[in-house]
Amino acid sequence: MLKTRQTKYTKAVEKYFIKYNHTSNHQALDYLKDWYPNLTATTVHRITERMVKNHGLKLAPLTINQVKRFDSNLTIHDHFHCRNCDSLRDINLPDRIIIELETLLNGCRLTGSLTISGVCQKCIKNKEVV
Ligand SMILES: [Zn+2]
Ligand SMILES: [Zn+2]
C-alpha cells in the first residue's frame, strides 16, 4: 500500500518537472497539492533528492533568493538567468565563446556549465526592468 502511494507520488513529481522545468520543491508541491492533497513537503523533498541521486534530475542555478531548483534537461547546457523575473532559459554557448573566455582567463579551462545573467526579452517588452 505504502509502496503504491510512493510510486504514484514519484511519477507525479517526475511528470511535474518534465513539464515545469527549472522549478523548486515548493512550486512542485503547490501545483501537485490540487491533485494529491496528502502530499507533503517532506515527500516532495525526498523524491527530488532521490531523483538527483539517480541522475533523473539535475540541480539548476539557484533563484535570486537562493532557493534550490531543478533541471529536467539532463544534457550539459548553460543558462541565461533573468535577474528581474528570476526565470532560467537553457542555452548552449558556442565553442568560440568558451575559447574566448579561456583566453581571457590565461588558459584556465572551463569545465562546468555557465550561467549568464541579464534581463529577458519578456521583461524588456513589459518594461518591468528595475
Ligand atoms: Zn525576465
Ligand atoms: Zn536548464
Q: Which domains does the chain have, with CATH numbers?
A: 2-70 (1.10.10.10), 77-125 (3.30.1490.190)
pLDDT band at residue 61 using 50, 70 and 90 as cut-offs: very high
pLDDT band at residue 6 using 50, 70 and 90 as cut-offs: confident
- Single pTM value for the model: 0.85
73-95 per-position pLDDT tens digit: 999 999 999 999 999 999 999 99
22-57 per-position pLDDT tens digit: 999 999 999 999 999 999 999 999 999 999 999 999
Please choose, from the candidates 115, 118, 116, 122, the residue with its C-alpha nearest in 3D space to the C-alpha of residue 83: 118
Closest ligand to the CA of 84: 1
Ligand 1 centre distance from Cα of residue 119 (Å): 5
Ligand 2 centre distance from Cα of residue 103 (Å): 26
Closest ligand to the CA of 123: 1
Is residue 117 within 8 Å of residue 78, measured between CB atoms?
no
Ligand 2 centre distance from Cα of residue 27 (Å): 16
